[in-house]
Amino acid sequence: MTTKIFLTIKEVMEKERITQKLLIERTGVRPATLSKYVNNYVSRIDFEVMATILDGINAITEKDYTIHDLVKSERKD
């Protein structure tokens, strides 16, 4: 059995109608870095970057998203 871990930042951003531009302005995360995280092109996750993205999403939406909302896993046989 194998487990695949992936980020769901893009889905949350689409649900909340947050653009990458707005999130970059609010967080200061480099555009290339945010793009990699949003599009799941990362092989290692920097928890500081994830916390910054999470804080930005929460500041914009005034909600209380957690890391569990931004990361999912699937198990396959």
Q: Output the domain CATH number for residue 26.
A: 1.10.260.40
Q: What tokens does 42 get?
A: 């990362």
C-alpha distances (whole Å) from 20 to each of 30, 45, 68 are 10, 18, 20
Domain count, the chain: 1
What are the pLDDT digits (tens) for 6-57? Answer: 999 999 999 999 999 999 999 999 999 999 999 999 999 999 999 999 999 9
pLDDT of residue 77: 80
Domain residues for 24? 2-76
Indicate the pTM of the whole model: 0.92
